[in-house]
Amino acid sequence: MNAPESIVLTDAQAAGRPQASPLAPDFADNPYATYARWRDEGRLLWSNAFFGGAWLLTRHADVENSLRDPRLSAQRTGGWVMDVAEGDRAGLTPFQRLFTRALLFLDAPEHTRLRQVLMPAFRPQRLQALQPEIEQFAAELVAGITPGQDFDFMERIARPLPVRVIARLMGVDLSLEQDFMRWADDIAAFIGAVRPTAEQTRLAQRSTLEMAGYFERELLPRRRREPQDDLVTELVQARDDGRISSDAELLAQCAMLLFAGYETTRNLLGNGMLVLMQHRAQWEQLCRQPELVPGSIRELLRFDSPVQWTGRRVASSFTLHGQQLRRGELVLPMIGCANHDPARHAGPETLDVQRDNPGALSFGSGPHVCIGAALTQLEAQTLFTQLVQRLPGLQLAGEVERNGNPVYRGILRLPMRLPA
């Protein structure tokens, strides 16, 4: 796949487009004030702050429509590995070959074909069968919290739970847990940077290739010899019968599923816990009424989404809201901004665990809606139900450290305490 053509606008061309106000200095830590300005400035704005220039969609209706619009291509977005690369692009070819074959960066018919291969692993009956193990994993982590002891919620609970779950689903060795986390951190830093540096690109390539190497040299051959009841076995079988078209395509799905199954869930758990601690009355309501937890997860997703935006490339030029979108230009549906659109959500800056219809776009919409959305929500529901029932006295115990990633919004350190 070729990289998308670079779109370079003259100052005059850029000035003729509706401009988004600059990113606030603390944008990565607190984007919502900037989002509010953008919604006031217009539905479609141009910003030079993202990848050298991109269109921003700021309203709920436009973001949702864009995620379903065939004129906007996900496949072309994957080419930014080369588009943003500094230095020797040839050295990034192995990274690009894997990166751009992942489900996230494909359009129909390839996307449709691969989604059909993957969907059975995420159907309700499969998740129901997995639920007892998720409950057990969560129970073990919650039981390890000692009264009177300070602890880091991310280290003790939010990171290990999704690692265990996605490893169980795929059949991956848990002995490599620390490697998985490092790989995910490097990939997330690259995808989440508005202007990836050469170092971020290098680290993302290294981690992607290490992850793919684990599958290629160890797990895939093992599953061919000894099939198991796991997703990797199913992917191996799909490669052997032709539903997956190449070894590179097989490796890309394995690597990106492992990354996505961990990254989004850990950020939902961390962001959600912090938000509830900051809105104590809402936490206490859940402690009194644990049956509200499933709906509260949708509200937590809306209020502080673990994914703040996604990317599309204009496949063929068209006009939107009076502006000409040219072939190859980057369009960013701003999910976090849309989730706070007052035209869609009454009082969007208020956390309400009993909100009737949160309607968050945090998992996307249309053909590319997150394939693992139900699994992520199941993990969060399971964990938070146990927390409100067994550890209602939890409280913050220090300064929170955010990850500084404007796309994969999350927390590095969340100090907490369970009073004695």
Whole-number pLDDT of residue 97: 82
Report helix, strand and coil shares of the chain as percent, to nearest 5. Answer: 55, 10, 35
Whole-number pLDDT of residue 69: 96
Q: Per-domain residue ranges for the chain?
A: 11-405
Q: How confident is the model at residue 92 (pLDDT cuts 50, 70, 90)?
A: confident
Whole-number pLDDT of residue 13: 60
Q: Each residue of 217-230: pLDDT tens digit? A: 999 999 999 999 99
Find the mean pLDDT for residues 32-60.
Answer: 96
Q: How confident is the model at residue 113 (pLDDT cuts 50, 70, 90)?
A: very high
Q: Each residue of 318-363: pLDDT tens digit? A: 999 999 999 999 999 999 999 999 999 999 999 999 998 778 999 9
Cα gap 14→52, rounded to integer Å: 11
Whole-number pLDDT of residue 10: 54
Whole-number pLDDT of residue 86: 56
DSSP one-letter string for 254-268: HHHHHHHHHHHHHHH
Whole-number pLDDT of residue 2: 34
Q: How confident is the model at residue 80 (pLDDT cuts 50, 70, 90)?
A: low
Q: Of all residues in the chain, what percent carry a pLDDT higher than 70? A: 93
Whole-number pLDDT of residue 170: 94
Angle at 156 between CA 154 and CA 158, to 5 degrees: 40
Find the mean pLDDT for residues 64-90.
Answer: 77
Pick the more confident residue, 177 or 163.
163
Pick the more confident residue, 303 or 82.
303
User: For 165, phi and psi rounded to 5 degrees?
Assistant: -70, -50
Could you count the other beta carbons within 10 Å of the beta carbon of residue 10? 8
Interstrand relation of 411-413 and 401-402 (parallel, antiparallel or unpaired): antiparallel
Residues 6+ apart with CB under 8 A from 7: 52, 53, 326, 328, 329, 330
Least confident among 26-35, 74-83, 268-277, 300-309: 74-83
Q: Which two tokens stand for residue 328?
A: 């190859």
Q: Of all residues in the chain, what percent carry a pLDDT higher than 90? A: 78
Q: How confident is the model at residue 176 (pLDDT cuts 50, 70, 90)?
A: confident
Whole-number pLDDT of residue 78: 63
Angle at 76 between CA 92 and CA 82, to 5 degrees: 20
Q: Are 80 and 322 in contact (CB under 8 A)?
A: no
- Give the number of C-alpha atoms closer than 13 A to the C-alpha of residue 305, restricted to the C-beta side: 25
Q: Which two tokens stand for residue 305?
A: 């989404």
Pick the more confident residue, 128 or 87.
128
Whole-number pLDDT of residue 4: 38
Q: Which two tokens stand for residue 165?
A: 């779950």
Find the mean pLDDT for residues 24-40.
Answer: 94
Cα gap 171→72, rounded to integer Å: 35
Nearest C-alpha neighbor of 255 from the set 97, 33, 76, 415: 97
Q: Each residue of 144-161: pLDDT tens digit? A: 999 998 999 999 999 999
pTM beyond cutoff 0.95? no
DSSP one-letter string for 202-231: HHHHHHHHHHHHHIIIIIHHHHHHS--SSH
Q: What is the DSSP letter of 59?
A: S
Q: What is the mean pLDDT of the chain?
A: 91
Least confident among 188-202, 256-270, 297-311, 343-357: 188-202
Superfamily for domain range 11-405? Cytochrome P450 (1.10.630.10)
Residue 305 has pLDDT above 60, yes or no: yes
Q: How confident is the model at residue 6 (pLDDT cuts 50, 70, 90)?
A: very low
Angle at 124 between CA 123 and CA 126, to 5 degrees: 70
Whole-number pLDDT of residue 199: 87
Residue 79 has pLDDT above 70, yes or no: no
Whole-number pLDDT of residue 52: 84
Whole-number pLDDT of residue 221: 96
Least confident among 23-37, 87-101, 312-326: 87-101
User: For 112, phi and psi rounded to 5 degrees?
Assistant: -60, -45
